[in-house]
Amino acid sequence: MNVTMNVSEALNGSLGLLTSASPVGGDDWSASDVLDLSNDNTLENFIEFQIANGIDYYFSPVCSAVGILGNMWAFAILLTPSMRKSTTCQYMAALAIADSLILVYNVLFLIRKFPGLDFFNPWTCKLLFFAFYYTIHFDVGVMMAMTIEKYLAVKFPLQAASWKPRTKLVIGLIALACLVLDFHSLITRGMVVDPNTGVEGCLPTNPANKFFLFLVWPWIDAVVYCFIPLTTLFVLNILIIYTVKKSRKMRQQMMENPENSAATNSRADTTKGSKENQITRMLLLVSFAFLIFVGPMAIIIIVERRFDLSSTPHQAAIYHLARTIMNNLMYTNHSLNFLLYCLSAKRFREKFIYLFDWVVGNKTQGNRLENTSRTAMRV
Protein backbone atom coordinates (compact mmCIF):
# COMPACT_ATOMS: atom_id res chain seq x y z
CA MET A 1 0.00 0.00 0.00
CA ASN A 2 1.47 3.34 -0.97
CA VAL A 3 1.56 6.45 1.16
CA THR A 4 -1.42 7.98 -0.62
CA MET A 5 -3.60 5.09 0.37
CA ASN A 6 -2.22 5.10 3.88
CA VAL A 7 -3.17 8.74 4.33
CA SER A 8 -6.60 8.30 2.82
CA GLU A 9 -7.36 5.24 4.90
CA ALA A 10 -5.96 6.84 8.03
CA LEU A 11 -8.44 9.64 7.60
CA ASN A 12 -11.46 7.67 6.54
CA GLY A 13 -10.79 4.74 8.83
CA SER A 14 -10.92 6.43 12.21
CA LEU A 15 -14.24 8.18 11.55
CA GLY A 16 -14.52 9.51 15.07
CA LEU A 17 -16.45 12.69 14.30
CA LEU A 18 -14.74 12.46 10.90
CA THR A 19 -16.79 15.06 9.11
CA SER A 20 -15.99 17.58 11.80
CA ALA A 21 -12.40 17.56 10.64
CA SER A 22 -12.80 20.12 7.93
CA PRO A 23 -10.36 22.99 7.67
CA VAL A 24 -11.14 26.58 6.97
CA GLY A 25 -12.12 26.76 3.35
CA GLY A 26 -14.83 27.01 0.76
CA ASP A 27 -17.37 24.62 -0.71
CA ASP A 28 -14.79 22.60 -2.66
CA TRP A 29 -13.67 20.69 0.38
CA SER A 30 -13.17 16.93 0.13
CA ALA A 31 -12.05 14.23 2.50
CA SER A 32 -8.47 14.28 1.27
CA ASP A 33 -8.18 18.01 1.96
CA VAL A 34 -7.97 17.38 5.69
CA LEU A 35 -4.27 16.71 5.24
CA ASP A 36 -3.88 17.67 1.59
CA LEU A 37 -1.11 15.13 1.21
CA SER A 38 -2.32 12.97 -1.65
CA ASN A 39 0.81 13.77 -3.68
CA ASP A 40 3.24 13.83 -0.77
CA ASN A 41 5.51 10.78 -0.50
CA THR A 42 7.34 11.84 2.63
CA LEU A 43 4.52 11.80 5.16
CA GLU A 44 5.37 8.42 6.62
CA ASN A 45 8.89 9.68 7.35
CA PHE A 46 7.53 11.94 10.06
CA ILE A 47 7.63 10.39 13.51
CA GLU A 48 4.22 11.90 14.30
CA PHE A 49 2.58 9.98 11.46
CA GLN A 50 4.32 6.77 12.53
CA ILE A 51 3.13 7.20 16.12
CA ALA A 52 -0.42 7.84 14.91
CA ASN A 53 -0.34 4.64 12.86
CA GLY A 54 1.02 2.74 15.84
CA ILE A 55 -1.82 3.97 18.03
CA ASP A 56 -4.39 2.91 15.45
CA TYR A 57 -2.84 -0.47 14.71
CA TYR A 58 -1.96 -1.54 18.27
CA PHE A 59 -3.75 0.45 20.94
CA SER A 60 -7.14 0.83 19.27
CA PRO A 61 -7.86 -2.89 18.63
CA VAL A 62 -6.83 -3.84 22.18
CA CYS A 63 -8.87 -1.01 23.65
CA SER A 64 -11.92 -2.04 21.61
CA ALA A 65 -11.61 -5.73 22.43
CA VAL A 66 -11.21 -5.13 26.17
CA GLY A 67 -14.03 -2.59 26.10
CA ILE A 68 -16.47 -4.90 24.32
CA LEU A 69 -15.75 -7.70 26.80
CA GLY A 70 -16.14 -5.36 29.77
CA ASN A 71 -19.37 -3.87 28.44
CA MET A 72 -20.87 -7.30 27.97
CA TRP A 73 -20.03 -8.18 31.57
CA ALA A 74 -21.51 -4.88 32.70
CA PHE A 75 -24.71 -5.52 30.75
CA ALA A 76 -25.13 -8.97 32.32
CA ILE A 77 -24.51 -7.63 35.83
CA LEU A 78 -26.74 -4.56 35.50
CA LEU A 79 -29.68 -6.72 34.43
CA THR A 80 -29.52 -9.06 37.43
CA PRO A 81 -32.75 -8.85 39.49
CA SER A 82 -31.34 -6.80 42.36
CA MET A 83 -29.54 -4.33 40.06
CA ARG A 84 -32.19 -3.64 37.44
CA LYS A 85 -34.56 -2.32 40.08
CA SER A 86 -32.60 0.92 39.85
CA THR A 87 -33.50 3.17 36.94
CA THR A 88 -29.88 4.30 36.78
CA CYS A 89 -28.78 0.70 36.24
CA GLN A 90 -31.34 0.35 33.44
CA TYR A 91 -29.82 3.35 31.71
CA MET A 92 -26.34 1.94 32.28
CA ALA A 93 -27.39 -1.35 30.69
CA ALA A 94 -28.49 0.57 27.58
CA LEU A 95 -25.14 2.39 27.63
CA ALA A 96 -23.28 -0.92 27.76
CA ILE A 97 -24.95 -2.05 24.53
CA ALA A 98 -24.34 1.28 22.79
CA ASP A 99 -20.70 1.40 23.93
CA SER A 100 -20.12 -2.13 22.64
CA LEU A 101 -21.57 -1.29 19.23
CA ILE A 102 -19.43 1.85 18.96
CA LEU A 103 -16.32 -0.22 19.64
CA VAL A 104 -17.40 -2.82 17.08
CA TYR A 105 -17.73 -0.06 14.49
CA ASN A 106 -14.25 1.14 15.43
CA VAL A 107 -12.85 -2.32 14.71
CA LEU A 108 -14.66 -2.41 11.36
CA PHE A 109 -13.18 0.93 10.33
CA LEU A 110 -9.74 -0.26 11.39
CA ILE A 111 -10.12 -3.38 9.24
CA ARG A 112 -10.64 -1.15 6.20
CA LYS A 113 -7.10 0.15 6.54
CA PHE A 114 -5.62 -3.15 5.42
CA PRO A 115 -5.23 -3.97 1.70
CA GLY A 116 -8.03 -6.07 0.27
CA LEU A 117 -10.26 -5.76 3.33
CA ASP A 118 -12.34 -2.77 2.29
CA PHE A 119 -15.90 -4.06 2.62
CA PHE A 120 -17.61 -0.79 1.62
CA ASN A 121 -20.21 -1.06 -1.11
CA PRO A 122 -23.20 1.18 -1.90
CA TRP A 123 -25.22 -0.43 0.93
CA THR A 124 -22.67 -1.06 3.66
CA CYS A 125 -21.35 2.47 3.14
CA LYS A 126 -24.72 4.02 3.99
CA LEU A 127 -25.62 1.57 6.74
CA LEU A 128 -22.33 1.77 8.61
CA PHE A 129 -22.24 5.56 8.68
CA PHE A 130 -25.88 5.65 9.79
CA ALA A 131 -25.31 3.02 12.47
CA PHE A 132 -22.20 4.73 13.78
CA TYR A 133 -23.72 8.18 14.15
CA TYR A 134 -27.00 6.75 15.42
CA THR A 135 -25.21 4.82 18.15
CA ILE A 136 -22.95 7.61 19.38
CA HIS A 137 -25.87 10.04 19.54
CA PHE A 138 -28.04 7.46 21.30
CA ASP A 139 -25.21 6.85 23.75
CA VAL A 140 -24.88 10.49 24.81
CA GLY A 141 -28.66 10.88 24.83
CA VAL A 142 -29.02 8.04 27.32
CA MET A 143 -26.18 9.43 29.43
CA MET A 144 -27.84 12.84 29.62
CA ALA A 145 -31.24 11.32 30.43
CA MET A 146 -29.66 9.18 33.15
CA THR A 147 -27.91 12.18 34.69
CA ILE A 148 -31.02 14.37 34.53
CA GLU A 149 -33.12 11.67 36.19
CA LYS A 150 -30.53 11.12 38.91
CA TYR A 151 -30.45 14.84 39.66
CA LEU A 152 -34.24 14.94 39.90
CA ALA A 153 -34.15 11.83 42.11
CA VAL A 154 -31.73 13.33 44.61
CA LYS A 155 -33.53 16.69 44.46
CA PHE A 156 -37.05 15.24 44.79
CA PRO A 157 -36.58 11.83 46.44
CA LEU A 158 -40.24 11.36 47.42
CA GLN A 159 -41.42 11.60 43.83
CA ALA A 160 -38.62 9.47 42.36
CA ALA A 161 -40.38 6.13 42.88
CA SER A 162 -43.16 7.07 40.45
CA TRP A 163 -40.67 7.63 37.61
CA LYS A 164 -39.39 4.05 37.33
CA PRO A 165 -41.92 2.82 34.72
CA ARG A 166 -40.95 5.74 32.48
CA THR A 167 -37.32 4.71 31.96
CA LYS A 168 -38.03 2.47 28.98
CA LEU A 169 -40.23 5.17 27.47
CA VAL A 170 -37.43 7.73 27.76
CA ILE A 171 -34.94 5.33 26.15
CA GLY A 172 -37.43 4.66 23.36
CA LEU A 173 -37.92 8.37 22.71
CA ILE A 174 -34.15 8.89 22.57
CA ALA A 175 -33.86 6.06 20.04
CA LEU A 176 -36.60 7.63 17.91
CA ALA A 177 -35.02 11.09 18.06
CA CYS A 178 -31.65 9.66 16.95
CA LEU A 179 -33.35 7.88 14.06
CA VAL A 180 -34.76 11.17 12.83
CA LEU A 181 -31.44 12.98 13.35
CA ASP A 182 -29.22 10.45 11.56
CA PHE A 183 -31.51 9.05 8.87
CA HIS A 184 -29.91 11.39 6.32
CA SER A 185 -26.84 9.13 6.15
CA LEU A 186 -28.93 6.59 4.24
CA ILE A 187 -29.71 9.08 1.45
CA THR A 188 -26.80 11.55 1.36
CA ARG A 189 -23.89 9.11 1.05
CA GLY A 190 -22.79 6.66 -1.58
CA MET A 191 -19.71 5.14 -3.17
CA VAL A 192 -18.16 8.03 -5.12
CA VAL A 193 -14.70 8.44 -6.66
CA ASP A 194 -12.88 11.38 -5.06
CA PRO A 195 -11.68 13.56 -7.97
CA ASN A 196 -8.64 14.71 -5.96
CA THR A 197 -7.31 11.24 -5.12
CA GLY A 198 -9.01 8.93 -7.60
CA VAL A 199 -9.96 6.73 -4.64
CA GLU A 200 -13.53 5.51 -4.26
CA GLY A 201 -15.00 6.28 -0.87
CA CYS A 202 -18.21 6.72 1.04
CA LEU A 203 -18.81 10.34 0.07
CA PRO A 204 -21.69 12.74 -0.71
CA THR A 205 -23.56 11.82 -3.85
CA ASN A 206 -24.22 15.36 -5.14
CA PRO A 207 -23.22 19.00 -4.45
CA ALA A 208 -26.18 19.61 -2.13
CA ASN A 209 -25.30 16.59 -0.01
CA LYS A 210 -21.65 17.65 -0.07
CA PHE A 211 -22.55 21.07 1.30
CA PHE A 212 -24.66 19.52 4.05
CA LEU A 213 -22.20 16.80 5.08
CA PHE A 214 -19.07 18.95 5.08
CA LEU A 215 -20.34 22.36 6.16
CA VAL A 216 -23.59 21.83 8.10
CA TRP A 217 -23.52 18.33 9.54
CA PRO A 218 -20.14 18.72 11.32
CA TRP A 219 -21.62 21.42 13.53
CA ILE A 220 -24.81 19.45 14.21
CA ASP A 221 -22.76 16.40 15.12
CA ALA A 222 -20.37 18.39 17.32
CA VAL A 223 -23.24 20.07 19.17
CA VAL A 224 -25.16 16.83 19.73
CA TYR A 225 -22.21 14.60 20.63
CA CYS A 226 -19.88 17.09 22.35
CA PHE A 227 -21.08 20.52 23.32
CA ILE A 228 -24.59 19.84 24.71
CA PRO A 229 -23.59 16.67 26.64
CA LEU A 230 -20.40 18.23 28.02
CA THR A 231 -22.26 21.30 29.27
CA THR A 232 -25.22 19.31 30.62
CA LEU A 233 -23.11 16.74 32.44
CA PHE A 234 -20.76 19.31 33.92
CA VAL A 235 -23.59 21.41 35.37
CA LEU A 236 -25.70 18.48 36.58
CA ASN A 237 -22.76 16.67 38.18
CA ILE A 238 -22.00 19.75 40.25
CA LEU A 239 -25.66 20.03 41.26
CA ILE A 240 -25.84 16.32 42.15
CA ILE A 241 -22.74 16.53 44.34
CA TYR A 242 -24.07 19.66 46.07
CA THR A 243 -27.52 18.14 46.64
CA VAL A 244 -26.15 14.82 47.93
CA LYS A 245 -23.84 16.59 50.40
CA LYS A 246 -26.69 18.77 51.60
CA SER A 247 -29.01 15.78 52.09
CA ARG A 248 -26.28 13.83 53.91
CA LYS A 249 -25.71 16.75 56.28
CA MET A 250 -29.44 16.99 57.04
CA ARG A 251 -29.64 13.23 57.64
CA GLN A 252 -26.73 13.33 60.06
CA GLN A 253 -28.32 16.18 61.98
CA MET A 254 -31.55 14.22 62.35
CA MET A 255 -29.74 11.09 63.50
CA GLU A 256 -27.77 13.03 66.13
CA ASN A 257 -31.01 14.29 67.68
CA PRO A 258 -32.69 11.30 69.39
CA GLU A 259 -35.79 13.34 70.22
CA ASN A 260 -36.41 14.08 66.56
CA SER A 261 -39.33 11.98 65.32
CA ALA A 262 -37.57 11.53 61.97
CA ALA A 263 -34.44 10.07 63.53
CA THR A 264 -35.75 6.50 63.56
CA ASN A 265 -36.77 6.64 59.92
CA SER A 266 -33.44 8.22 59.03
CA ARG A 267 -31.56 5.33 60.64
CA ALA A 268 -33.77 2.85 58.86
CA ASP A 269 -32.91 4.49 55.56
CA THR A 270 -29.15 4.29 56.12
CA THR A 271 -28.75 1.05 54.16
CA LYS A 272 -30.92 2.32 51.34
CA GLY A 273 -28.91 5.54 51.32
CA SER A 274 -25.70 3.55 51.05
CA LYS A 275 -27.06 1.72 48.02
CA GLU A 276 -28.08 4.94 46.33
CA ASN A 277 -24.75 6.56 47.15
CA GLN A 278 -22.87 3.81 45.37
CA ILE A 279 -25.12 4.07 42.32
CA THR A 280 -24.61 7.84 42.38
CA ARG A 281 -20.84 7.33 42.48
CA MET A 282 -21.11 5.02 39.47
CA LEU A 283 -23.01 7.69 37.57
CA LEU A 284 -20.64 10.49 38.52
CA LEU A 285 -17.56 8.51 37.50
CA VAL A 286 -19.08 7.68 34.12
CA SER A 287 -20.11 11.30 33.58
CA PHE A 288 -16.73 12.74 34.57
CA ALA A 289 -14.97 10.17 32.37
CA PHE A 290 -17.01 11.48 29.45
CA LEU A 291 -15.97 15.03 30.28
CA ILE A 292 -12.29 14.05 30.46
CA PHE A 293 -12.06 11.81 27.40
CA VAL A 294 -14.47 13.58 25.03
CA GLY A 295 -13.69 17.14 26.13
CA PRO A 296 -10.48 17.31 24.06
CA MET A 297 -12.50 16.40 20.96
CA ALA A 298 -14.69 19.46 21.50
CA ILE A 299 -11.58 21.62 21.81
CA ILE A 300 -9.97 20.37 18.61
CA ILE A 301 -13.24 20.80 16.70
CA ILE A 302 -13.25 24.49 17.64
CA VAL A 303 -9.56 24.94 16.84
CA GLU A 304 -9.67 23.25 13.45
CA ARG A 305 -12.63 25.39 12.37
CA ARG A 306 -10.64 28.54 13.08
CA PHE A 307 -7.14 27.65 11.91
CA ASP A 308 -5.49 25.82 9.03
CA LEU A 309 -3.66 23.01 10.80
CA SER A 310 -2.13 21.37 7.73
CA SER A 311 -0.38 24.11 5.77
CA THR A 312 2.85 22.06 5.57
CA PRO A 313 3.42 18.30 5.51
CA HIS A 314 4.98 18.35 8.99
CA GLN A 315 2.09 20.34 10.43
CA ALA A 316 -0.29 17.92 8.74
CA ALA A 317 1.47 14.96 10.35
CA ILE A 318 1.25 16.65 13.76
CA TYR A 319 -2.43 17.38 13.20
CA HIS A 320 -3.05 13.78 12.15
CA LEU A 321 -1.40 12.59 15.37
CA ALA A 322 -3.52 14.96 17.46
CA ARG A 323 -6.67 13.80 15.68
CA THR A 324 -5.73 10.16 16.18
CA ILE A 325 -5.17 10.72 19.90
CA MET A 326 -8.52 12.51 20.26
CA ASN A 327 -10.35 9.77 18.37
CA ASN A 328 -8.81 7.07 20.52
CA LEU A 329 -9.59 9.00 23.70
CA MET A 330 -13.19 9.05 22.54
CA TYR A 331 -13.19 5.28 22.01
CA THR A 332 -11.44 4.79 25.36
CA ASN A 333 -14.37 6.54 27.01
CA HIS A 334 -16.65 3.83 25.61
CA SER A 335 -14.32 1.12 26.97
CA LEU A 336 -13.97 2.19 30.60
CA ASN A 337 -17.41 1.86 32.15
CA PHE A 338 -16.95 -1.68 33.46
CA LEU A 339 -13.77 -0.63 35.27
CA LEU A 340 -15.46 2.50 36.64
CA TYR A 341 -18.39 0.46 37.95
CA CYS A 342 -16.00 -1.93 39.69
CA LEU A 343 -14.09 0.93 41.29
CA SER A 344 -17.17 2.77 42.54
CA ALA A 345 -19.62 0.08 43.73
CA LYS A 346 -18.93 -2.87 46.02
CA ARG A 347 -22.21 -4.50 45.08
CA PHE A 348 -21.20 -4.43 41.40
CA ARG A 349 -17.87 -6.08 42.21
CA GLU A 350 -19.64 -8.77 44.21
CA LYS A 351 -22.05 -9.41 41.36
CA PHE A 352 -19.16 -9.73 38.94
CA ILE A 353 -17.38 -12.27 41.16
CA TYR A 354 -20.63 -14.19 41.53
CA LEU A 355 -21.27 -14.32 37.78
CA PHE A 356 -17.64 -15.10 37.00
CA ASP A 357 -17.65 -18.00 39.44
CA TRP A 358 -20.87 -19.23 37.92
CA VAL A 359 -19.44 -19.07 34.39
CA VAL A 360 -16.26 -20.95 35.31
CA GLY A 361 -18.25 -23.56 37.22
CA ASN A 362 -17.60 -22.61 40.84
CA LYS A 363 -21.32 -22.24 41.58
CA THR A 364 -21.00 -23.01 45.30
CA GLN A 365 -18.69 -20.06 45.91
CA GLY A 366 -20.80 -17.83 43.68
CA ASN A 367 -24.04 -18.74 45.43
CA ARG A 368 -22.47 -18.17 48.84
CA LEU A 369 -21.30 -14.71 47.81
CA GLU A 370 -24.70 -13.91 46.29
CA ASN A 371 -26.52 -14.88 49.48
CA THR A 372 -24.10 -12.85 51.56
CA SER A 373 -24.55 -9.84 49.30
CA ARG A 374 -28.31 -10.02 49.51
CA THR A 375 -28.16 -10.20 53.28
CA ALA A 376 -25.91 -7.17 53.41
CA MET A 377 -28.16 -5.33 50.94
CA ARG A 378 -25.24 -3.42 49.48
CA VAL A 379 -25.32 -1.98 45.97
> What are the tens digits of pLDDT across the range 242-292?
888 887 777 776 766 655 554 455 444 544 556 667 777 888 888 889 989
Q: Is residue 1 part of a domain?
A: no
pLDDT in tens, 33-46: 333 333 445 678 88
Burial of 362 (0-12, 13-18, 19+ CB in 10 A): middle
Q: Is residue 212 part of a domain?
A: yes
Q: Is residue 377 part of a domain?
A: no
Q: Is residue 23 part of a domain?
A: no
pLDDT in tens, 183-217: 999 999 988 887 777 778 888 989 999 999 988 99
Q: Is residue 29 part of a domain?
A: no
Q: Rounded to 5 degrees, what are φ and ψ at 37? A: -125, 25
Q: Rounded to 5 degrees, what are φ and ψ at 22? A: -100, 135
pLDDT at 259: 56
How are the residues of the chain apportioned to helix, strand and coil, as percentages rounded to the nearest 5?
80, 5, 20
Rounded mean pLDDT, 157-174: 80
C-alpha 49 chain-centroid distance: 26
Q: Is residue 333 part of a domain?
A: yes
pLDDT in tens, 330-374: 999 999 989 988 888 788 888 888 888 887 776 555 455 455 444
Our count of domains for the chain comes to: 1
Spatial neighbors of 147 by CB under 8 A, at least 6 apart, are 232, 233, 236, 237, 240, 283, 287
The residue segments making up the domain with residue 144 are 56-344
**CB-side exposure of 144: number of CA atoms within 13 Å?**
17
Q: Is residue 161 part of a domain?
A: yes
pLDDT at 220: 92
Between 166 and 137, where is the model more confident?
Answer: 137
pLDDT at 229: 93
pLDDT in tens, 92-101: 999 999 999 9
Between 375 and 292, where is the model more confident?
Answer: 292
CATH number of the domain enclosing 151: 1.20.1070.10
pLDDT at 18: 43
Q: Is residue 372 part of a domain?
A: no
pLDDT at 144: 95
pLDDT at 42: 67
CB atoms near residue 267 (< 10 Å): 12
pLDDT in tens, 6-15: 444 444 434 4
Give the least confident one: 47-51, 70-74, 114-118, 185-189.
114-118
